[in-house]
Amino acid sequence: MRKIAIATCLALSLAITACTPDQEDKISAWAIHGERSRSNLELKRITVDGFNMAYLEGGQGDTVFLIHGFQSNKDIWVRMARQLTKHYHVIAIDLPAHGESTILPDRSYTVPEQAKRVIAFMDALKLKQPVNVMGHSMGGAIAFHVAVMAPGHVKSLALVSSAGVISPTPSELWRLNQQGKNPLIVRNERDYEAMLDFTLSDRPWIPGPVIATLTREAIARQQIGEKIYRELAPANSMKAEEALTMIHVPALVIWGDQDKVLDVSSVGVFKQYLPQAQVTVFKGVGHAPPLERTEETAAVYQEFLGKSQPVIH
């Protein structure tokens, strides 16, 4: 396995230059498939509320349900899931209008609407027991809406750099938004590189062909991304001070102290309304701990779940 991984990395490195877009897309698909396979995750699909939704599933035991953030997708979790599928049944979804799931331009993508679709997705899979839900960024806000709207579906709640509250210290993203700028919307190749630099303080290595493919996909999603971002306005969601106080399951809050998207001062707000929450703040980390501190994030999460051995049913 190690030799295969090394050979794969070498081949990808050699392929970084002199590739056509079609070749880059094929190499990218190969690399992503390899990452999923190493994490024991299989690509599946299901139709929910008119959307054909893609998701990754693998492992056995208690279910861990992973929800990505704005303009992201299910593969943000793949490397972390490599640790989780050893002990848990893992599901990582592509939210509607994200990743490989259907884009329907005329539909609403507010946090409550996406939460309803997540609940419908859970019901469609006929999950028999409450699940451990982890959400990142926008996915965190969706996750705690799910916990309020369908409390019987949620066993525990983990919020990673979560949206949904107003931080005491305005984030750099908020300040840029006030100037009419949004570094999360990609219009060209420079924008994609700038977006990665803005969101990631300790950026992991990603093969060049994968970056090229992701860049083209992000540019193609500019219009739907702008629509979704507008609909993320706080007025379209539950008030945090009301919603969070309704959640009584075990909770975990994870953040990076260099987060420019959602300021780390948000941790104090979540702790105020979720007093039962455990908190971990990683130093030198930006908006994506699952990518920047993959093994550490997985270890913190598994410790929170209180599992170190496979669950046998």
Walk along the chain (313 residues) and give the pLDDT tens digit of each residue: 433 443 444 344 444 456 898 899 899 999 999 999 999 999 999 999 999 999 999 999 999 999 999 999 999 999 999 999 999 999 999 999 999 999 999 999 999 999 999 999 999 999 989 999 999 999 999 999 999 999 999 999 999 999 999 999 999 999 999 999 999 999 999 999 999 999 999 988 888 899 999 999 999 999 999 999 999 999 999 999 999 999 999 999 999 999 999 999 999 999 999 999 999 999 999 999 999 999 999 999 999 998 533 333 3
Residues 6+ apart with CB under 8 A from 269: 165, 166, 167, 168, 240
Amino acid at position 275, single letter:
P
Cα 144 to Cα 135: distance, rounded to the nearest angstrom: 8
pTM for the full model? 0.92
Nearest Cα residue to 202 out of 299, 136, 260, 288: 288
Amino acid at position 58, single letter:
G
Q: What six digits make up the tokens of 175?
A: 């300040």
Question: Which residue segments constitute the domains of the chain, with CATH numbers given?
Answer: 2-305 (3.40.50.1820)
H-helix or E-strand spanning residue 305: helix 294-305
Sheet holding 89-93, edge to edge: 42-48, 51-58, 89-93, 63-67, 131-136, 154-160, 251-256, 278-282
Q: What six digits make up the tokens of 268?
A: 């104090």
